Amino acid sequence: MRTIAVLIPALLLAACSQPAPPAEPAVDAPPPMEASAAATPAAEPAMPAAEPAGAAPAEVSAEDARARIETLLGDAAQYEKVFNAFRTAVVGGDRAAVVEEVRFPLNISGGKKITGPGEFQRNYEKIITPAVVKAVSGQDFGKVFVNQQGVMIGDGQVWLNGQCLDQACTKTEVKVITIQ
For the stretch 43-89, pLDDT in tens is: 333 333 344 444 444 444 567 899 999 999 999 999 999 999 999 99
Choose the most confident range, by mean pLDDT, from 27-31, 51-55, 105-109.
105-109
Cβ(132)–Cβ(51) below 8 Å: no
Q: What's the pLDDT score for residue 60?
A: 46
pLDDT at 55: 42
**Among 19-23, 31-35, 134-138, the least confident range:** 31-35
Of 16 and 81, more confident: 81
SS3 145: strand
**Cβ contact 37:119 at 8 Å:** no
Q: Give residue 56's pLDDT.
A: 42
**CA 116 – CA 86 distance, rounded (Å):** 17
Contact between 100 and 90 (Cβ < 8 Å):
no
What average pLDDT does the chain have? 79
CB 132 within 8 A of CB 90: yes
The residue ranking higher by pLDDT, 8 or 6, is: 8
42 has pLDDT over 60: no
Distance CA 141, CA 33 (A): 20
pLDDT at residue 63, rounded to an integer: 77
Query: Which H or E element spans position 88?
Result: helix 76-92
Pairing of strands 112-114, 145-147: unpaired
Q: Which of 39-43, 44-48, 92-96 has the highest mean pLDDT?
A: 92-96
pLDDT of residue 48: 36
> pLDDT class for 169, splitting at 50, 70, 90?
confident
* Res 39 pLDDT > 80: no
**If residue 7 lies in a helix (H) or strand (E), which one and from where to where?**
helix 2-16
Q: What is the DSSP letter of 143?
A: G
At 102, give phi and psi (nearest 5°). Answer: -105, 140
For residues 104 and 77, give the distance between their C-alpha atoms in angstroms, rounded to a whole number. Answer: 22
